[in-house]
């Protein structure tokens, strides 16, 4: 999940930051292991007019008063790492759980002083706001900030690995009068050229410092690969492949917007990746349900679990991140929105609450841990036509963690694979949240997400 926007609010209150971190990263919570830290463009210093601007505008470590030219961004003396203190506080609390293995430093827009119009969005839709002559300065901006985090993490017993994602959803318009958050559009050729500059700088930094910071490219707004897709995914890939950096990448990061609970879309993407880019892993780095309101029913929980299940099994996503770690009711953006893992109100102290989504997604982390390997799993329900979906992961001790989704409103009998018995079982359905089940005569409850840990008999 990402810390965009609300880290800088929650982190003002120490108890709230601890509560947040425990619910998402703690051993008694979801046990997540990836934090996406938003490296802001500094738009809190501007009259940006974002809806819900109190939280969507961001604080930057760069000291704008020291700015003389883009070269100012290459001088570490021009940074103040006591800034963004609330967001850093939440990150610290997440790290304190001991479960964070990866921190992704992601930017939605370059720092506003590096942009064409000195804002967090372009004046016009579909216009890149990063001046070409500032590509190096923006790369240095991200690397100096990454260096701060690397130093900070070096004091930890198990420092998390660091990824830098300087560009987010480059396909979308992001600019114009109605922009509601920081963002920056890049045409495919522009982005490839920027990535080449950035990657060269990153390699030089790693060589000089002995670090192993990795790039996280390209946070594609979706992964539609047909000619009809507005994301122009294949065009971006074609431009990247003209540069050496592309052959060095270990993964591509994509977002599941548009894919939702569909199968054809994923099948097309999987075929594309297998045939053209078989050596690249896939990270699903952002998803939320794009609709207003707050559906607290099991239906929404199962819907979201279905998205994650299909990303794991159909496009072999090796990392899966929900969008906002916590969301609140924005005054300017129409109220509640289906984008939070947690929700909170801050009217009378910070108070967190959950929806079924929190629990259905927790069913995946109940028995599956980082390092487990996904193995082939299926049921006699071909292609989920009868409402069953399944994935399975093998642990180093050869036990197998299984997650089953039953989309039907009927209880189902379960026949286990030969040679296995249930060691543990847990379920979330309309009436229960992460409830332990007896392994004896276990049935699959109606409309549920069920987790099993199987051991050999």
Partner 1 sequence: MQKAKRKITGWRRVALVAASLVFAACFILSAYAVGVEFAPVSLKIDPSVRF
Q: Kindly list the residues in this chain that would bind partner 1 in the complex (CB under 8 A).
A: 316, 373-381, 388, 390, 392, 394, 398, 400, 402, 404, 410, 412-417, 420, 444, 454
Least distance from partner 1 to the Cβ atom of residue 400, Å = 6
C-alpha count within 13 angstroms, C-beta hemisphere, residue 26: 11
Least distance from partner 1 to the Cβ atom of residue 396, Å: 12
Distance of CA 157 to the CA centre of its chain: 24
Reading the block at residue 100, the tokens are 């964070």
CB of 53 or CB of 306, closer to partner 1: 306
CB atoms within 10 A of CB 301: 29
Give me the sign of the Cα torsion angle 136, 137, 138, 143.
positive
Residue 269's CB is within 10 A of a number of other CB atoms, namely 23
Nearer to partner 1, 35 or 402 (CB): 402
Question: Which residue has 């300017």 as its token pair?
Answer: 332
Q: How far is the CB of 388 from partner 1 (least distance, A)?
A: 6
CB of 366 to partner 1, least distance (A): 17
**Distance (Å, rounded) from C-alpha 267 to C-alpha 35?**
28
Within its chain, how far is the Cα of 420 from the centroid?
34
Quote the least distance from Cβ 281 to partner 1, whole Å. 10
Place of tokens 């996904």: 374
Cβ nearer to partner 1, comparing 64 with 414? 414
Facing residues of 246 across strands? Answer: none
In angstroms, give the least distance from the CB of 262 to partner 1: 20
Q: Which two three-digit tokens encode residue 18?
A: 């601890």
Question: Could you tell me the end-to-end alpha-carbon distance of the chain, in angstroms, rounded to an integer?
Answer: 37
Smallest distance, partner 1 to C-beta of residue 419, A: 10
Q: Which is nearer to partner 1, 336 or 420 (CB)?
A: 420
Cβ 454 to partner 1 shortest distance, Å: 8
Nearer to partner 1, 51 or 381 (CB): 381
Q: Report the distance separating Cα 318 and Cα 251, nearest Å.
A: 9
State both tokens at 232.
């122009």
Residue (230 or 378) nearer to partner 1, CB: 378
Secondary structure (3-state) at 135 = helix
Closest CA to 240 of 280, 201, 287: 280
Minimum distance between the CB of residue 247 and partner 1, rounded to whole angstroms?
A: 23
Please say which residue, 129 or 406, places its beta carbon nearer to partner 1. Answer: 406
Strands lying side by side in the sheet with 351-354: 324-328, 340-345, 351-354
Cβ atoms of 344 and 351 within 8 Å: the answer is yes
Q: For partner 1, which is the closer residue by CB, 68 or 380? A: 380
To partner 1, the closest distance from the beta carbon of 376 in angstroms equals: 4
Q: For residues 114 and 99, what is the distance between their CA atoms, to the nearest angstrom?
A: 35
Per the CB < 8 A criterion, the answer to whether 357 and 301 are in contact is yes
Q: Which is nearer to partner 1, 167 or 388 (CB)?
A: 388
Among 338, 331, 328, residue whose Cα is nearest residue 307: 338
Q: Which is nearer to partner 1, 207 or 376 (CB)?
A: 376
């Amino acid at each position: 999940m990402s810390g965009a926007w609300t880290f800088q609010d929650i982190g003002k209150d120490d108890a709230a930051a601890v509560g947040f971190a425990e619910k998402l990263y703690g051993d008694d919570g979801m046990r997540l292991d990836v934090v996406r830290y938003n490296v802001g463009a500094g738009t809190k210093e501007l009259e940006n007019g974002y809806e819900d601007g109190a939280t969507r505008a961001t604080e930057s470590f760069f000291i704008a008063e020291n700015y003389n030219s883009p070269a100012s961004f290459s001088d570490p003396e021009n940074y103040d790492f006591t800034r963004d203190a609330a967001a850093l506080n939440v990150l610290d609390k997440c790290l304190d759980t001991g479960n964070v293995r990866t921190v992704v430093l992601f930017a939605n827009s370059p720092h506003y002083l590096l942009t064409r119009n000195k804002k967090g969005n372009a004046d016009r839709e579909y216009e890149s706001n990063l001046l070409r002559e500032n590509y190096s300065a923006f790369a240095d901006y991200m690397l100096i900030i990454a260096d701060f985090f690397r130093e900070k993490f070096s004091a930890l017993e198990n420092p998390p690995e660091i990824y830098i994602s300087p560009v987010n959803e480059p396909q979308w318009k992001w600019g114009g009068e109605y922009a509601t958050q920081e963002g920056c559009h890049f045409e495919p050729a522009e982005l490839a050229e920027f990535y080449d500059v950035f990657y060269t700088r990153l390699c030089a930094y790693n060589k000089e410092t002995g670090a192993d910071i990795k790039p996280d490219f390209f946070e594609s707004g979706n992964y539609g690969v047909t000619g009809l897709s507005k994301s122009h995914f294949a065009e971006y890939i074609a431009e990247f492949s003209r540069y050496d950096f592309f052959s060095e990448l270990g993964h591509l990061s994509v977002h599941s917007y548009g894919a939702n609970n569909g199968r054809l879309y994923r099948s097309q993407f999987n075929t594309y990746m297998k045939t053209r880019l078989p050596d690249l892993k896939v990270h699903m780095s952002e998803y939320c349900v794009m609709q207003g309101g707050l559906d607290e029913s099991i239906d929404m929980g199962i819907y979201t679990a279905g998205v994650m299940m299909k990303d794991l099994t159909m496009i072999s996503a090796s990392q899966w991140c929900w969008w906002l770690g916590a969301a609140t009711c924005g005054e300017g953006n129409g109220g509640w929105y289906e984008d939070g893992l947690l929700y909170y109100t801050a009217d009378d102290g910070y108070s967190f609450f959950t929806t079924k989504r929190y629990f259905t997604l927790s069913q995946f982390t109940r028995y599956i841990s980082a390092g487990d390997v996904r193995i082939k799993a299926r049921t006699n329900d071909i292609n989920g036509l009868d409402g069953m979906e399944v994935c399975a992961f093998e642990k180093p001790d050869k036990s197998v963690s299984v997650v089953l989704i039953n989309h039907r409103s009927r209880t189902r009998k379960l026949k286990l694979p030969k040679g296995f018995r249930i060691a543990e079982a847990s379920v979330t359905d309309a009436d229960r949240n992460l409830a332990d089940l007896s392994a004896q005569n276990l049935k699959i409850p109606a409309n549920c997400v069920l987790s099993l840990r199987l051991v050999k008999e």
